[in-house]
């Protein structure tokens, strides 16, 4: 299998972290690309008509995307138990919350990097950050009992989302008022899988 990826993407990090956690890293060849909303390499478009990463190219079927589809597939392939049926709705909701944090944080990154300064909307940027801040606070206030339990895909997604906030938006200080989540992330970020997949430009 081939994973079309960029090392800075938190969605890619979710997939790579799960590969490490389930012992499948050696089964996947990493295909690095540089992509943005305004520049899509042919290899990405061939695997995903939306032109987004990650995409997983399989030898026995069509390429699959997005990250949540890929992680479900890889978990099923390995029997990893990262989507336990007994708490599946909680896992999926927490993963969706983490993915929404990534969505808003990446839109801020794109606004700052791709738009000329005179066309940037500070109101729009702050609206996106408000989504991030509210979601992070919700995880801190409502989800710590889940995060204290056995590691599942919700844990992985939250860890990758918070890692991206540190990577791109550290000055925003997501930790303020979220001491419990900060403590949890300090421990979770030390896992071998998280260390091996730390984002980089």
Q: Residue 198 domain-assigned?
A: no
Q: Looking at 60, 78, 96, which one is the last position of a domain?
A: 78
Does 95 share its domain with 141?
A: yes
Does 89 share its domain with 116?
A: yes
Compute the distance between CA of residue 26 and CA of residue 42 in angstroms, rounded to an integer: 25
Q: Residue 201 domain-assigned?
A: no
Q: Residue 19 domain-assigned?
A: yes
Task: Give the pLDDT confidence of 83-126 residue by residue, as tens digits.
Answer: 999 999 999 999 999 999 999 999 999 999 999 999 999 999 99
Compute the distance between CA of residue 45 and CA of residue 102 in angstroms, rounded to an integer: 22
Does 104 share its domain with 174?
A: yes
Q: Looking at 78, 106, 124, which one is the last position of a domain?
A: 78
**Segments forming the whole domain that contains residue 163:** 85-192
Domain CATH for 46: 3.40.30.10
Q: What is the pLDDT of residue 38?
A: 86
Q: Residue 20 domain-assigned?
A: yes
In 3D, which of 15, 5, 7 has the Cα closest to residue 199? Answer: 7
- Does the structure show a pLDDT above 90 at 157? yes
Task: Give the pLDDT confidence of 158-182 residue by residue, as tens digits.
Answer: 999 999 999 999 999 999 999 999 9
Does 38 share its domain with 121?
A: no
Does 145 share its domain with 101?
A: yes
For helices 88-114 and 10-21, the axis angle rounded to 10 degrees is 140
Q: Residue 197 domain-assigned?
A: no
Q: Looking at 78, 97, 118, which one is the last position of a domain?
A: 78
Compute the distance between CA of residue 10 and CA of residue 89 in angstroms, rounded to an integer: 22
Does 9 share its domain with 35?
A: yes
Does 72 share its domain with 110?
A: no
Torsion of CA 182, 19, 49, 163, to 10 degrees: 20
Q: What is the pTM of this model?
A: 0.96
CB-based contacts of 87: which residues, under 8 Å, 6+ apart?
Answer: 146, 152
Q: How many domains does the chain have?
A: 2
């Amino acid at each position: 299998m081939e994973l079309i990826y960029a090392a800075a993407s938190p969605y890619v990090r979710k997939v790579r972290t799960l590969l490490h956690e389930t012992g499948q890293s050696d089964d996947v060849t990493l295909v690095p690309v540089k992509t943005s909303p305004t520049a899509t390499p042919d290899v990405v478009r061939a695997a995903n008509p939306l032109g987004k990463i990650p995409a997983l190219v399989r030898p026995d079927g069509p390429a699959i995307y997005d990250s949540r589809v890929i992680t479900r597939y890889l978990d099923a392939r390995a029997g990893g138990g990262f989507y336990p049926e007994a708490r599946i709705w909680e896992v999926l909701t927490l993963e969706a919350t983490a993915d929404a944090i990534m969505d808003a944080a990446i839109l801020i990154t794109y606004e700052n990097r791709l738009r000329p300064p005179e066309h940037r909307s500070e109101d729009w940027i702050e609206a996106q950050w408000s989504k991030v801040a509210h979601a992070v606070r919700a995880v801190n206030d409502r989800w710590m009992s889940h995060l204290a339990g056995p590691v599942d895909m919700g844990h992985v997604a939250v860890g990758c989302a918070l890692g991206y906030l540190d990577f791109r938006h550290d000055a925003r200080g997501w930790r303020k008022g979220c001491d419990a989540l900060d403590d949890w992330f300090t421990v979770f970020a030390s896992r071998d899988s998280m260390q091996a997949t730390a984002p980089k430009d």
